[in-house]
Chain A
């Protein structure tokens, strides 16, 4: 049995999900901090 398709599937899934989670968290942080900061300005 060729093991490489299983290895590639595991890496694509893990790195893809971690990347999406990181980008979603970064976007939420920038959006929420930006909204709060915008309201502080006169």
Chain B
């Protein structure tokens, strides 16, 4: 972990890894979504809308997983002052916000034919909406700190504090009697049939690999900006 905090070392593995993650994720995603759309059966209760799950579940997982990674990077930035950790947190924020927005939108699209409503102020939906606002707040705070030439300490603290919302999202369907169904995957087993589980697992891994590639691309872009500014200063001196 500490060894990777060196930007040159990070770039030496990020450069070859980015296309592998990107193309691998896209291929797995394409195959899984094809299977989810055309090969897996319709659900006896939900009908064809069960196919929305193959895009909804991975985006919701990445919205939450994205913030968990952002919080871990923020902690590393605060404790060990790793510049790369701050860059990683900044690189995760936009893809994480997009995934959370997609989870909310696909959930609403699924909810209309299934629940008869686009939106309900229940625990899971409201805490996911709060997560989206947290991402927006992080982006605004981080941009303001960078504009003032700060070390983005406040946004790192914000990233850590915002992680409190993650267990609330996870346990919301257990703590409160919500419209959203309880978890289908628990430590005691899976309530999902294998014919539906394989495209779901494939699309979740595919989306995750693609998400990792996007984060690496954004980290490399930020490092490129920093190198450009440093070389410009050296050239001017």
Contact = CB atoms under 8 A, between A and B. Distances in A.
A1 B113 CA distance: 7
Contacts of A9: 109
Interface in A3-31: 3-4, 6-7, 9-11, 13-15, 17-18, 21-22, 25-26, 28-29, 31
Given A3-B47, A7-B49, A26-B217, A40 B231 contact: yes
A3 B47 CA distance: 7
A10 B110 contact: yes
Chain B interface mostly: helix
Nearest to A4: B48
Interface residues of B, number: 40
Contacts of B102: 13-14, 17-18
B214 to A, nearest CB: 5
Interface of B: 18, 22, 33, 37, 47-49, 51-52, 55-56, 59, 94-95, 98, 101-102, 105-106, 109-110, 112-113, 207, 210, 213-214, 217-218, 220-225, 227-228, 231-232, 235
Interface of A: 1, 3-4, 6-7, 9-11, 13-15, 17-18, 21-22, 25-26, 28-29, 31-36, 39-40
Q: Which 7 A-B pairs have the closest CB atoms?
A: A32-B224, A3-B48, A36-B227, A33-B224, A25-B217, A36-B228, A14-B55
